Amino acid sequence: MEQNKLKRKITFDYWNVNKKEKLIERLESSSEKSITLFEDFPNELFYEICDYLDVYYVYKAFNNLNKRLQTLLFNSTVPLTINISSMSKSIFQDYNKHMIIPNQHRMKTLRISNPFIVDLLFSPVRITSKFIRLETLIFGNIKSKYLLNILNHSKFLPNLSSLVIILIDRCQDPNKIYQHIFRLPVLKYCRISLKEEYFNHFSLSISTNVTSHIQHLVIDHNFSLHNLNALLSYVPQLRCLIFHCLDGTHSNKSEIFPCLSNNLTHVSINIKNITFEKFEIIIKNLFYQLEILHISTNNDSIYVDANRWKQLILSFMPNIRIFDFQHVNYIQNNNDNNKAIYDSIMDQFSSSFWSERKWLFEYQFYVQQSQNYVIFYSINQYRYTDFVDHVDIHGEEAIMSCVNYFQNATKLTLSHSFAASRVWLRIILEHIIPLKQLTTLVIDYDALSFNQLIKLLRFTPNIHTLTFKSHSIQKSNSMLIQQNQTFRLISNTNTITNVTIEERYTTENIKLLAILCPRMQHLTIDILTTELESTMKFILLKTKTDLQHLCSMCIKTSRKSMIGKLKALIELERLLDNYVIKMIDSNIYLWW
């Protein structure tokens, strides 16, 4: 398949599925007893509903229903799941006052993606120690200075076993963040994403007396190979390790990787600038217990030496069950000589050693940004499709050649280019993923027309997050598109709440997207300074009519002068009343 990258879930969310099934069973059982009013449900069933739903929706639905339900909601000991994402400032103030602050001791899960709310919720920071039942803490967008203070106080939390961190700004010393994480006493799962500008500019010190209980570690940013030894010295119980990108650019050529972990059974790794010889050393020292290996490499042709892999697997990875491999190489041109080379490689990977294990491979030539590449990849490892939640498709040819169905996929990325034909939509629908199940759609190719976008959204009615990563949308006739019956239908029915535009779009296209997504709660855009006033005035005026759900914005790659201009515009035109605005790195954040 033409560079068909698939990001997999390591564990399927059986816990939530099980909770849902139990809740349905209880509701059906209660229905058989002819209960016609919600108020007549037993307390235990109400608690199960609270456990399944985010507590904000429980609070919103039942707070003013009757005194019994108010008592059950506020005076029980049932643990709470708090998810604060796109919530308006006034709603949060009420919710925080009446639900969050009085129930800090009941929080089991806390998810925050609004940078303003982090400041409010953890002020003063010592309040962190009150979250004594907290098991899962998820920061979607947090400043590094707040994170360090919160982590310092989180070491006193006796139940914090799962932590997700996505930094919103540049961290001056990532080493401090890692050190704080490794000191959390019962942490088992950690996912961390730092700003990539610093991934090669810090050195992680080797542990002397600190060891972590982490078993599942996801490093979702570029990580330098020269820090691998130090990282593993903190996590002797590590079983699953996932690298977004392990970079060998600044590593020492004579670096040795001692056997620091005997428990690794699952590794997923995207390799950059690491020779096969160096990766071979890592395998020999760290992968003896490995059962699952997902690996993506580039350039070094030794990575497609079947005999080298065979010897490594037999001698140093005897327990491996899944070998999922992808190698991308730049080539001068797509000619018969290159085809002969890769036909020979295919022959090597078709021996009995590979076929007996049902490890099958393909190769394909493709063009990206006017350069020629060849991709060599395994084709049958996706029989474990239950664990795939993100499908990234590179071009129509990839769709045509896909033989798998990813029944649990919720995120779709469309990369490279697609022809004007809508045939590929039907093929996706019928053969690759259940489009009605998708919640996140990423468009990462140029020359998408608004009509094509509308048709795609028609097949994906449950999308809540829509992202444009390139100059995707072509200039369009705004009036003509708005008169389109399908456009009106999608505008009236879609559930999109989060829109991100990573490249600078014309004001006209931004206006069209605003009209298309009236239930939008958060918008991230990149605006030209010359179009700041007209674009922001249009959007903020729309919050009083068509965009009444919109309550936060991020304006990317802004100049400091823009924040003053934006404040002046808001005050002069009286566009917002109760709002806060600040700049983090080069982005302006606005919340009202």
pLDDT in tens, 290-301: 999 999 999 899
What is the average per-residue pLDDT within 233-241?
A: 95
Confidence of residue 519 (pLDDT cuts 50, 70, 90): very high
Q: Are the beta carbons of 201 and 173 closer than 8 angstroms? A: no
- Distance, in Å, from the CA atom of 113 to the CA atom of 380, rounded to the nearest integer, reads 37
Among 74, 127, 132, 125, which residue's Cα sits nearest to residue 107?
A: 132
% of the chain exceeding 70 in pLDDT: 83
* Correct CATH for 7-201+208-385 of 3.80.10, 1.10.287, 3.20.20, 1.10.3470: 3.80.10
pLDDT in tens, 296-333: 999 899 999 999 999 999 999 999 999 999 999 999 87
Terminal-residue alpha carbon distance, the chain:
46
Confidence of residue 255 (pLDDT cuts 50, 70, 90): low
**Architecture of the CATH domain 434-591:** Alpha-Beta Horseshoe (3.80)
The reported pLDDT for the residue numbered 385 is 63
- Distance, in Å, from the CA atom of 241 to the CA atom of 247, rounded to the nearest integer, reads 15
What is the average per-residue pLDDT within 143-156?
A: 94
Farthest-apart Cα atoms in the chain, separation: 79
3-state helix, strand, coil in the chain (%, to 5): 40, 25, 35
% of the chain exceeding 90 in pLDDT: 56
* Phi, psi (rounded to 5 degrees) for 199: -65, -25
Whether a cis peptide bond, with omega within 30° of 0, leads into 124 is yes
- Distance, in Å, from the CA atom of 587 to the CA atom of 450, rounded to the nearest integer, reads 27
**Both tokens assigned to 47:** 């608690």
The reported pLDDT for the residue numbered 196 is 64
The reported pLDDT for the residue numbered 1 is 38
The better pLDDT of the pair 131, 60 is held by: 131
Kindly give the interhelix angle for 306-316 and 276-286, rounded to the nearest 10 degrees: 20
Q: Are the beta carbons of 503 and 538 closer than 8 angstroms? A: no
The reported pLDDT for the residue numbered 28 is 52
What is the average per-residue pLDDT within 404-425?
A: 76
Q: Are the beta carbons of 308 and 276 closer than 8 angstroms? A: yes
The better pLDDT of the pair 171, 271 is held by: 271
Judge whether residue 189 has pLDDT over 90.
Answer: yes
Domain locations along the chain: 7-201+208-385, 434-591
The better pLDDT of the pair 254, 500 is held by: 500
| Residue 491: other Cβ atoms inside 10 A | 19
What is the average per-residue pLDDT within 498-508?
A: 87
pLDDT in tens, 100-113: 999 999 999 999 99
- Distance, in Å, from the CA atom of 361 to the CA atom of 323, rounded to the nearest integer, reads 11
Burial of 158 (0-12, 13-18, 19+ CB in 10 A): exposed
Using the 8-state DSSP alphabet, how is residue 448 labeled? B
Judge whether residue 393 has pLDDT over 80.
Answer: yes
